[in-house]
Amino acid sequence: MVVRLPRGAPYLTQELGITHFLRIPFATTESIPQLLSSLGNVAQDPIASALPRTAWSAPDQVHFTIGGLSLKTPARIEAATQLLTEFGRVCTAKSNPRPHFHAAAKIFSEGRTDLLHLEQPPVVSLEGLRARRMQWEEKEGAKALYCCPIESQPFLAGFRSLLVDAFVAEGFIPAIRASDTDEPFLAQVMSTQALVTQVPNMKPSLIRKGKRISLSPNFDASDICPKYRSFTWTRAFPLEKLCISELRLRDISRKGTFIKTGYRDVACIPLPGVAAEQVTCGHPDDEYDPAAKWYSKPKKVTPLLIPSTPPL
């Protein structure tokens, strides 16, 4: 596997003013041990030796992205939270409440809420390994690797369509991003963007002519992807919640002690079939570093634990 430095372009998220995003975390009490075991096994494979361990996602950062949100003011954050809450009320009720938003009201009136009234939560397994664009694997164009959520019953496509339609209509998702609904269902497990750090007293992993590199290295994934194309990251497990999260990662501490780097959730709702009391929005003792980090790493990174058991 060869890592090389590309010519980059400005991030589309910055051009569109994306500040937050809708996501379904794949980190649950049932899935995290499986993800930790799988990530450890793949990361220690000699075929992945050119990729530093810090490029692999922490298990609790693995998620499915619904869409990027432009929420530049507290008022817009509050409004988007209220719209998300409307969906939460539907997911936890047997009837449709009267929504306060025209977009949500239109969706409810069209009878598109069958997916929001499930008796059991949606169940997925995570399988395979690929680049976002398959042709990138052969042209040293990959910057990240993904696994694919496999559903026991169709849910994600219809649910994403409901959410995107409502949030686009209310102006929270830029219209140009509506095309994201055509994207494949993927969950990022590795990104070379994580090699760039802004943390004081920590040498950046990649330096050119004595200066920090602000763009991510591309790599050739034509060897690792075929080997793990049928790999099982997790067995089937139920999904729990939908979140509006800040786009950038933050250092998270509890009582002054660094715990991890993760996303700060602004609002969370239970997914259909999940009881409201099962869902929490972060730990009550979490303290977030006010300086958001763009794929930066903390001073101390909890290493992936290499399990003694074989891959799943």
pLDDT in tens, 211-221: 554 455 677 78
- Residues β-bridged to residue 139: none
Residue 251 pLDDT greater than 70, yes or no: yes
- Per-residue confidence (pLDDT) for residue 136, from 0 to 100: 53
Distance CA 215, CA 194 (A): 10
Give the H or E element holding residue 304. none
Phi, psi of 87, deg, nearest 5: -65, -40
Question: What residue type is 22 in one-letter code?
Answer: L
Instruction: Taking residues 173-194, report their average pLDDT.
Output: 70
Distance CA 289, CA 249 (A): 10
Q: Name all contacts of 173-176 with Cβ < 8 Å and 24+ positions apart.
A: 173/67, 173/68, 173/69, 173/70, 174/16, 174/17, 174/18, 174/68, 174/70, 176/16
Poorest-pLDDT segment among 108-112, 235-239, 305-309: 305-309
| Confidence band for 302, pLDDT divided at 50, 70 and 90 | very low
- Residues β-bridged to residue 23: 65, 243
What pairing do the DSSP bridges indicate for beta strands 63-69 and 20-25? Answer: antiparallel
Question: What residue type is 211 in one-letter code?
Answer: K
pLDDT digits (tens, 9 = 90+) for 74-87: 999 999 998 898 88
Quick check: 70 and 17 in contact, CB under 8 A?
A: yes
DSSP state at residue 293:
B
Give the H or E element holding residue 158. helix 156-169
Distance CA 234, CA 236 (A): 6
Give the H or E element holding residue 241. strand 241-254
Q: How far is CA 103 from CA 16, 71, 83, 100, 152, in A?
A: 21, 17, 9, 9, 29
Report yes or no on whether pTM surpasses 0.85: no
